[in-house]
Structure 1
């Protein structure tokens, strides 16, 4: 009886303590996966148990924590409590991939799916059938980006990956905001842009907008050159006016200097004004100020100048006799009195008023005769003085023809000598004066 009682107690003990001397066969889904027993107090490696499949007897007074590892996979830790009943066959799966990612410069930020994870180095864990995008960036450098997949139909992630930021990047801030940015002739778009500068290379950046002077700058990423800036301001402030004229051969002048014929790209600096003069024989001279100043009308992007025909030009002829002192010998058949009378009568038919008349000295001047045109005032007069030698009567005649331009703002009178310049033309109504004097006095 006593023996039976003890047998029953032993059986109950076995039922209550099912883990007593349990032995498990543990198999990983990778034949080269390692099994490592961990220390209870700090989870450090205690003992390597085997590879692929192991038999493990649950130990008394131990947590029985086993780490299963394989390079390129996230390790897993299994804990087999000795007080629990376990199936003899245990299977474990390493499914999550792990990539050790490092980056230079060491203070570059490492982001995963847009979220900052760390700097210098991180471990990236990719769950089965998932993917993550890693971005490495630092101000002043072109960022690097890569997507890692844990799918059978995708490229297997590497165990380690290294990012080195070498290409530089300049954040170009543009004003006006709709200006177009190009790098090495390739348009990047409108407004602010990130300019990429490959290691060992240079790029030429241009920013342009109609009506503005183009911005140009070269950025280099070479050891021998200064580092490019992290940020650069491209502010278009100087204006550009594309001037075209009709006639196409009209002369364009700035500050008295000829700068073009028919067309010219005029640059107007910020806070400045530029006066442009356009001229061509036979047409009204055109003068215009272009200003790039606050509270002033801004310059046009283009300006087509249609020149008007100059009536002063069509009412005159080109002449070598204008503003030249011409000596006219008198034929000896004429007495001095007769010669003076002939000369006076010719001049008074062209000029209404004689200002000075002195027969004794042979001096005569007419008053200025003025004719107004759209673009200018023409004034004309004749001055006669005695010429030749004592053996022969002669007169020196000078037909003065002068022009003063009208600017549309300031009045010009016939007495404003400083505004008149000699004109190499003669109004048609005075065209025959000198020839008639020559013919009459020499016949």
Structure 2
């Protein structure tokens, strides 16, 4: 009995010693991973146990919490309750990557896969065989995006990464909504766009749409320059008409000034009208108004103005004798009465009505002879006055040739002197009048 009792006591003693002095071997999948024993009361570091693999003695009245760490990986915390039975060897795997992300400006938002995680700094954890997309953004700045992989065939994530937003961004709101936006000549698309302005640089932004005057603005992101706006508007309001003419060398005039020949890009400001005149010798002058006003017909994108042949031009000749006083001396031996008769006879051969005739003063005028054309009215008359000196009989003859443009109006009469201007041409039926007078009197 005493022997059996002794065996029982020995067995219980051995069992008790085994239960209260349990040791386990901890082994990490990285040889340089650190094992750190944690304090029970605040999980702070208590003692560094070693690297790669360590033997842990499970203490009574302790949580036996161990943290396994390695730079670039999410730390793993294990707890081994002494009252539980543990395998002699414990394998710990570190396979979730960790990247410490920081960002400037400090109030920039840090997003992971589209969700806002925080500002200034975050810890990014990438599970094995997965990837995450990080975006840092702030209004007025161009966002920065980066993808981090935890995959064997991809680039290993860094331990730390810092994002600095330096490029600016302007949200450009465009009207009309289908206008095209480009920066430095590169098309971004139609409608509202984000304009990126690299740090230390400027970009030229243009907004275009057929039939409208282009919008152009330069945004700069340079030290010392005013900051670009967070948002801006580009409203195309002034209209643009691309005018071409036939003939292709016709003069294009606006407000009395020549602005081009054959072609012109006409700008029509909002709430206004612009009158365009097309002219060329031998063709009917073309006048057209373009308006950019509410309740008015919109200007066309393009306009082809084809001029018609001017019959007044084809019915006349260019002459340097028009509207000029020509002195015609009477040859010696020709009596004044005969000279006057010849002169009157020549003039009445061209003009039916003489308005004023005074032989004594040598003054004669004809009535205006009027000829109507589609584009204008031509009026012609002759004025004769005494010329030369007292020693020789002479007459001053002036063939007056004037034109009044109709420009679509039909209420011009021969008496509207203010509407007529001297014309450097003579209707063909009066061509030769001056030459005949010179030939017969000289």
Q: TM-score range by the shorter chain?
A: over 0.9
Deviations 1:207-243 (A, max 9, x none): 2222222222222221132222222222222222222
Equivalent pair of 2:248/2:261 in contact (CA under 8 Å): yes
- Cα separation, 1, equivalents of 2:331 and 2:359: 18
Query: CA separation in 2, counterparts of 1:9 and 1:21?
Result: 18
1:354, 1:2 → 2: CA distance?
174
Return the alpha-carbon distance in structure 2 between the equivalents of residues 60 and 326 of structure 1: 137
Return the alpha-carbon distance in structure 1 between the equivalents of residues 17 and 406 of structure 2. Answer: 121
Pair 268,24 (structure 1): closer, same or farther in 2 beyond 3 Å? same
CA shift in 2, pair 1:14/1:193, >3 Å: farther
Q: Which runs of 5+ in 2 are unaligned?
A: none
Aligned to 1:69: 69
Please give the secondary structure, in 1, of the residue aligned with 2:349: helix
Q: Secondary structure at the residue paired with 2:392?
A: coil
For residues 229 and 11 of structure 2, the distance between their equivalents in structure 1, rounded to whole angstroms, comes to 82
Q: C-alpha distance in 1, partners of 2:339/2:42?
A: 137
Q: State the Cα deviation string for residues 30-72 of structure 1 (Å, max 9, x = none).
A: 1111111212222111222222111112111111111111111
2-structure distance, mates of 1:388, 1:102: 104
Could you tell me which residue of structure 2 aligns to residue 308 of structure 1? 308
Indicate whether 1:109 and 2:109 are aligned: yes
Q: Is the 8 A contact 1:208 1:215 kept in 2?
A: yes
Aligned residue pairs: how many? 442
Per mean C-alpha deviation after superposition, the further-off stretch among 11-20 and 99-108 is: 11-20
Alignment correspondent of 1:123: 123
Question: Which residue of 2 is the match for residue 155 of structure 1?
Answer: 155
Q: Which of 386-395 and 208-217 deviates more?
A: 386-395
Distance 2:333 2:321 in 1: 26
Residue matched to 1:57: 57
Q: Please give the alpha-carbon distance, in whole angstroms, between the structure 1 residues aligned to 2:423 and 2:326.
A: 17
SS in 1 for 2:243: strand
Question: SS in structure 2 opposite 1:342?
Answer: helix
Q: Please name the residue that 2:178 is paired with.
A: 178
In structure 2, the partner of 1:22 is 22
CA contact (8 A) 1:322 1:423 kept: yes
Deviations 1:91-111 (A, max 9, x none): 111111111000111111100
Deviation, 1:370, is: 0.8
Question: How far did 1:24 drift?
Answer: 1.0
Answer yes or no: is the 8 Å Cα contact 2:170–2:230 preserved in 1.
Answer: yes
Unaligned runs of 5+ in 1: none
CA distance 1:410–1:373, shift in 2 (3 Å): closer
Distance 1:105 1:410, change over 3 A: farther
How far residue 339 of structure 1 moved from its aligned partner, in angstroms, is 2.3
Deviation at 1:330, TM superposition (A): 2.4
- What is the CA-CA distance between 1:410 and the residue it aligns to? 5.6
CA distance in 1, matches of 2:101, 2:268: 54
Distance 2:367 2:13 in 1: 148
- Secondary structure at the residue paired with 2:24? strand
Aligned-partner Cα distance in 1 for 2:9–2:243: 114
**Could you tell me which residue of structure 2 aligns to residue 324 of structure 1?**
324
Stretches of 4+ moved more than 6 A in 1?
A: 5-18
- 1:239 — aligned with what? 239
Q: Displacement, 1:145?
A: 0.9
Deviates most, 295-304 or 158-167: 295-304
CA shift, 1:4, in A, is 5.1
| Equivalent residues in 2 for 1:73-222, closer than 5 Å | 73-222=73-222
Matched, 1:267 2:247: no
DSSP-derived class of the 1:350 partner: coil
Task: Compute the displacement of 1:338 (Å).
Answer: 2.4
What's the counterpart of residue 257 of structure 1? 257
Indicate how the Cα distance of structure 1 residues 420 and 124 shifts in structure 2: closer, same or farther if over 3 A, else same: same
Residue 342 of structure 1 is matched in structure 2 by: 342
Kept in 1, the 8 Å contact 2:321–2:399? The answer is yes
Distance of 1:181 and 1:362 partners within structure 2:
77
What's the RMSD between the two structures over aligned residues? 2.2
Determine the C-alpha separation between the residues in 2 that align with 1:9 and 1:173: 90
Q: Deviations over 1:260-314 (max 9, x none)?
A: 1222222222222222211111111111122222222222222222111110000
Please give the secondary structure, in 2, of the residue aligned with 1:210: coil
Once the two structures are overlaid, the 10-residue window that deviates more, 142-151 or 200-209, is 200-209
- Length-normalised TM-score, structure 1: 0.94
Decide whether the 8 Å contact of 2:285 with 2:407 is kept in 1: no
